Copies of this chain bind each other. A is one copy, B any other.
Amino acid sequence: MNEQKVGNYLIQRLYDLGVRHVFGVPGDYVLGFYQQLEQSKRLKVINACDEQGAGFAADAYARVNGIGVLCVTYCVGGLKVVNAVAEAFAEKSPLIVISGAPGIKERRKNPLLHHKVKDFDTQQRIFENITIDSVLLDDPRRAAEDIDRVLSSVRSYKRPVYIELPRDIVSSSMDIEPTTPSVLHSGTAVPGGGGEDERNQIDIALQEAVSEATKLINSSKQPVIIAGVEIHRFGLQDKLLHLVNKTNIPVASTVLSKSVISEDHALYIGVYEGAMGYQSVREYVETSDCLILLGALMTDINFGISPTPIEQSKSIYVTSEKLSVKHHDFENVLLQDFLNYLIESNLTKRNLLNTGKLDYTGGYNNNRNNINSNYRYANLRNEQKQQQKQQYSSTKKNQKITVKRVFELLNSFITENTIVIADVGDSLFGSLDLTIHGQTDFLSPAYYCSMGFAVPAAIGSQLAKPNHRPIVLVGDGAFQMTGMEISTIARFNLTPIIIILNNNGYGTERPMLDGPFNDILNWNYSKITDIIGYGKGFVIETENQFEKCLFATDKIYSNDLCVLDVRLDRNDRSPALQRLTDLLGKKVK
């Protein structure tokens, strides 16, 4: 018989899944579990200033580590993280939410216990809208099974799950035979996959789909892979590399999946972002006769808010939820399996150089200066890098700093040990031109787009990758939402570089529709390190100061928090943002 307590069982399972840190804020309904966490010595508690900060930090940890845990108290904690968990749901981040709760016994007669909103199950019902699975652990005898089920769900679907742990259950003995559910030790589960017959049907459909896709790819002249965020979430980066290297088919990422493949890879052509991005990448993708969309969310931001320019008759579109080759839909054939089979299929290997088939011979380029009518995909990327390099070398002294220059100068500062975290707005759009060297070393809520993600995300990502230093790009508006989580950064001796793009308000909204509601108070951001007694603050007004400051963060303050108040013109913005806001503005008015 297993005498383990429910809370300790949960802790063991989380540890088995590779979790080492738990983010949250304690409260009386969850204190017992916090004590178990502390005593377990296996999972470190990271308590943030506010639950919202803990939520974003746990989400970032989940994205980097492969799984993350947020642990809060009932309602006054849980209902503060609804937005952060919704973001994890929308962008497929494998986040486990554990909430303390009133004891099962004290719920009888439905008394008005503090923190209760309406009914005792109100919080769980709310979370059912933003999680893929949820459970109230109301029976210690069933707890192991219940816990294993939701942990299996988070691994299969890469979306948040919710576990409610009443305070009179957390220390209850489970009194059951120890089980080792296969799902916790197997590979990816097959959502919807049931008996043997069903599995055979899926196999047949899979073979058909792969055969059809192979034919389409081999007969195409200019195929291109768009590698989406699910490649990262399902841990398929190596498979993607294998496919790319085997076939020599060039690959683009999306806004949400930037850095899913090292941006130094010879076959990487850049971020495809519709009307927002490099025109050359857009043209290459949109004139392709075979688009291979792997795990890409077809969001408006990913495609630059323009009507989706993807022609289905030329596309292979596969995600963890659906697959279609041209107009054929295949039921229950999913990304993970499809990619495995595709790699094994009879795909032609293309020549890297001088192959007529791969040359770009589209007709979009007549009205553009910097595009050759006959260049290879490899040139696309070289061209981008060349441009960045030239931009860097032309630094002028006493020249007022601009958004464009921030990103140009920053580009040469990024190493293999950098994680770039971009908040929403120009922090994101400007970052898209940065070259990220490692895999998944770029984080941004690029679809759901909740402001305030980036500073707390630095906590989660640096704890998940301790040998990496985060560079946070955040607007002043977003910083005012969650920036005080630098307090948590200080408590746990983390060392991010926080670059505040300070333009006195909601710069992304001004070009859509401006008014006094887009103004915010200007803070003395560089003095904020005095409040927490940790880190170094800088005020940046010129290109020269920014360059010197970057140098100092690396040479002098390499083991410290650095906060850069980069003072921009109120109406300054990146070219990408300008294009995006023009498009969004039309919808607002």
Q: Interface residues, chain A, CB within 8 Å of chain B? A: 26-28, 31-32, 34-35, 37-38, 45, 47, 49-50, 52, 75-76, 79-80, 82-83, 86-87, 89-90, 103, 106, 111-118, 122, 125-126, 129-130, 167, 297-302, 447-452, 480-484, 487-488, 490-491, 506, 508-509, 512-513, 515-518, 520-525, 527-528, 530-533, 584, 587-589
- The one of B35, B447, B449 in contact with A513, judged by C-beta atoms closer than 8 angstroms, is B35
A45-B516, A490-B521 are contacts. A122–B130 as well, Cβ < 8 Å? yes
B524 touches A531 (CB 8 A): yes
- Residue numbers in B under 8 Å from A297 (CB-CB): 112
Q: How far, in whole Å, are A512 and B480 apart by their CA atoms in the complex?
A: 33
Q: How far, in whole Å, are A178 and B183 apart by their CA atoms in the complex?
A: 62
- Residue numbers in B under 8 Å from A122 (CB-CB): 86, 129-130
Q: How far, in whole Å, are A230 and B516 apart by their CA atoms in the complex?
A: 37
A75 touches B79 (CB 8 A): no
A50 touches B517 (CB 8 A): no
A28 touches B584 (CB 8 A): yes
B125 touches A31 (CB 8 A): no
A114-B299, A530-B527 are contacts. A31–B79 as well, Cβ < 8 Å? no
Chosen A-B contacts, 29 in total, with CB atoms closer than 8 Å, are A31-B509, A31-B512, A32-B513, A34-B513, A35-B513, A49-B481, A49-B520, A50-B52, A50-B481, A76-B87, A76-B448, A82-B82, A90-B118, A106-B587, A111-B298, A113-B300, A114-B300, A114-B449, A115-B448, A115-B450, A117-B130, A118-B130, A126-B129, A480-B487, A487-B521, A490-B521, A522-B533, A524-B532, A531-B531
- Nearest-neighbour CB distance to chain B for A456, whole angstroms, equals 12
Further contacts, 8 of them, CB under 8 A, given A49-B481, A75-B448, A80-B82: A35-B513, A75-B83, A76-B83, A76-B87, A79-B83, A86-B117, A111-B298, A527-B530
Chain B, Cβ-Cβ closest to A112: B299
A517 touches B103 (CB 8 A): no
- Nearest-neighbour CB distance to chain B for A294, whole angstroms, equals 17
Chain B, Cβ-Cβ closest to A75: B86
